[in-house]
């Protein structure tokens, strides 16, 4: 991926957590990857399915 501005322009919003963490996808990422974007900082994770599983079960783990 290119510069930060180019990277952010290529991302497509998928969902977000209960805070400010956005889950995004992009054709520029490897297949099956997800970009986690928090206040402009982008972290790429290799497994979209695992990231979404963690997001969906996050509330079940909180007590």
What pLDDT band is residue 7 in, cutting at 50, 70 and 90?
low
Arithmetic mean of pLDDT, 24-52: 93
Work out how many domains the chain is built from and give that number: 1
Q: Is pLDDT of 4 > 70? A: no
Helices and strands counted in the chain (H then E) = 2, 4
Torsion of CA 9, 53, 43, 33, to 10 degrees: -60
pTM of the model: 0.78
Q: What is the pLDDT of residue 24?
A: 95
**Containing domain of residue 53, as a range?**
4-61
CB 56, CB 49: distance < 8 Å: no
């Amino acid at each position: 991926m290119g510069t930060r501005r180019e990277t952010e322009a290529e991302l497509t919003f998928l969902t977000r957590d209960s805070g400010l963490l956005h889950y995004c996808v992009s054709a520029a990422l490897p297949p099956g990857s997800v970009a986690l974007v928090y206040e402009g900082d982008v972290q790429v994770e290799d497994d979209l399915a695992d990231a979404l599983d963690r997001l969906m079960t996050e509330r079940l783990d909180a007590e």
